[in-house]
Amino acid sequence: EPEVTQTPSHQVTQMGQEVILRCVPISNHLYFYWYRQILGQKVEFLVSFYNNEISEKSEIFDDQFSVERPDGSNFTLKIRSTKLEDSAMYFCASSDRGLWGYTFGSGTRLTVV
Amino acid sequence: KQEVTQIPAALSVPEGENLVLNCSFTDSAIYNLQWFRQDPGKGLTSLLLIQSSQREQTSGRLNASLDKSSGRSTLYIAASQPGDSATYLCAVRRRAGGTSYGKLTFGQGTILTVHP
């Protein structure tokens, strides 16, 4: 069964550093997403991406965040200057035109120290 | 703003019991509803997807129902097993125009423990 692959599985970074979280969505999917889950809290939407541009973003997704699809397979989330409160599990997901729902990756646990 | 609530927050049952997890949402203008399973520290595994036009979906011992007009869904697990122990998340996908197929809004989950 096709999978969404995320790397790394766990990243520790110092406050103020830039991090890039990487994802390889399912190859024939058209819609790409990032969600995050702070420990003990709900999974929350960050951003959706379609046709090489952001189609929707949440209020969390401020100027410190950016997404990119640098080639035909990767989808990245960059946090420019990490804060302690950015510590969370970040999930990448992809979707086709809606028939089959979302497929999530296994997540990247980001720890900001 | 869509709000999704799951009841109960936690459930502990002996092996073999049939159980029901509940999900309610405030805005009935949804595109579909998806149930996920999350093991501790792991990703989200899709269990069942119900389109807004459907009433239920079944997969093995799992059955999910949807009553869009009342803003409710239930996940029924038959003959529970210790391996079913996990957090179960309900998420609704809102209907959106244009090229966006809408973000998912999640409930807080039900933590299920099935003991032998």
Which tens digit of pLDDT belongs to each residue from A49-105? 988 899 889 999 999 999 999 887 899 999 999 999 999 999 999 988 755 678 999
pLDDT reading at A14 higher than 90: yes
- Comparing CB atoms, the residue among B43, B101, B102 nearest residue A91 is B43
Model pLDDT, residue A50: 87
pLDDT at A51: 85
Residue B9 Ramachandran class (φ > 0 left, ψ -120 to 50 alpha, else beta): alpha
Among residues B19, B41, B28, B23, the alpha carbon closest in space to that of B89 is found at B23
**pLDDT value for A99:** 58
Chain B residues with CB under 8 Å of A45 CB are: 103-105
pLDDT digits (tens, 9 = 90+) for A25-45: 998 888 899 999 999 899 999
Measured between beta carbons, the chain A residues lying within 8 angstroms of B89 are: 43
Res A95: pLDDT? 87
Interface touch B32/A101, C-beta < 8 Å: yes
* Distance between A103 CA and the closest CA of chain B, angstroms: 7
Tokens of B14: 């002996």
Euclidean distance between CA atoms A81 and A83, whole angstroms: 7
Instruction: Report d(CA B96, CA B91) in Å as an integer.
Output: 15
Low-confidence stretches of chain B (pLDDT beneath 50): 99-100
Asked whether A1 and A100 are in contact (CB, 8 A), the reply is no
- According to the model, what pLDDT value does residue B98 have? 54
pLDDT of residue A7: 95
A36 φ, ψ to 5°? -140, 160
